[in-house]
Structure 1
Amino acid sequence: MELPQLVARFVETQNTYDSQAYTACFTETAIVHDEGRIHTGKEEIRHWIEEANENYRSVMKPLQYEESGLNGTLTAEVSGTFPGSPIVLQFHLGLNDDLIDSLKVTG
C-alpha cells in the first residue's frame, strides 16, 4: 500500500518502537486521544508512546488510508501483547506542515 511519506514514517517508527522518531512525526503542540486519555505536546506524547510500547509491543499493518484536506484516516490491523490482539483500529490524523497536529485512535 502506498502511503504518504509522513504516514509511512509514523507506521515505521511505531513498528520499530523508536519513540524519538515517532515523536518527531508530531508538531510541538500536538494532541493525542487514546484509551480515554489526552496527551498534549511532544514530551507527553513521547511518554505515552514509550509506555504503550513497553506494555503492548504493538505493530501496525496498514489496511487503508484516506486523506481529505488536512485530515487523514489510517485503518490498520494492530497486534501486540494486549487482550483481543489483533484488532483493527482507525488513526484519525490532523495534519499541519507535514507533521501530525492531532491523533485520535478509535476502534
Structure 2
Amino acid sequence: MNLPKVITDLINAQNSFDSIAYANCFSENAQVFDEGKTHNGKLDIQNWIEESNQKYRSVMKPLEYTENGTSSILSAECSGTFDGSPIILKFHFDIADGKIQNLKVTG
C-alpha cells in the first residue's frame, strides 16, 4: 500500500505510543475530531493522543487507502484495550505541505 509519508509516520507513532511524534504529523492549527470531540492545535492533539494511548493502547493496521486531491481516507484495523477490539475505523485526512490539517475518525 502506497501511503504518504505523513500517514506512515502517524501510524508508526501510534503503534509505538509516541504522542510527540504523533502530534508532529499535524500542522500548528490542525483539528482532530474523534469520539464526538474536537481537538485544536498540536498541543491539544498531543494531550488527546497521550490520554488515548494510556486508556486504549490502540495500534493500527492499514487495510485500504484512497486519495482525492488533498483529501484521503485510510481504513485501518484498530486493536487495543477497548470494548469490541479489534474494530475497523476510517481516518479522513486533509493534508497540505506534508502535514495533516484535519483528521476525522469514523466507525
Bin the TM-score by the shorter chain.
Answer: over 0.9
Structure 1 gaps, min length 5: none
Structure 2 gaps, min length 5: none
TM-score norm. by structure 1 comes to 0.98
Partner residue in 2 for 1:45: 45
Shift of 1:44: 0.5
Aligned residues: 107
Partner residue in 2 for 1:90: 90
Partner residue in 2 for 1:23: 23
Partner residue in 2 for 1:64: 64
Distance 2:46 2:96 in 1: 19
Q: State the identity %.
A: 54
1:49-103 C-alpha deviation (Å, 9 max, x unpaired): 0000000000000000111111110000000000000000000001111000000
Q: CA RMSD in A?
A: 0.6
Distance 1:69 1:2 in 2: 15
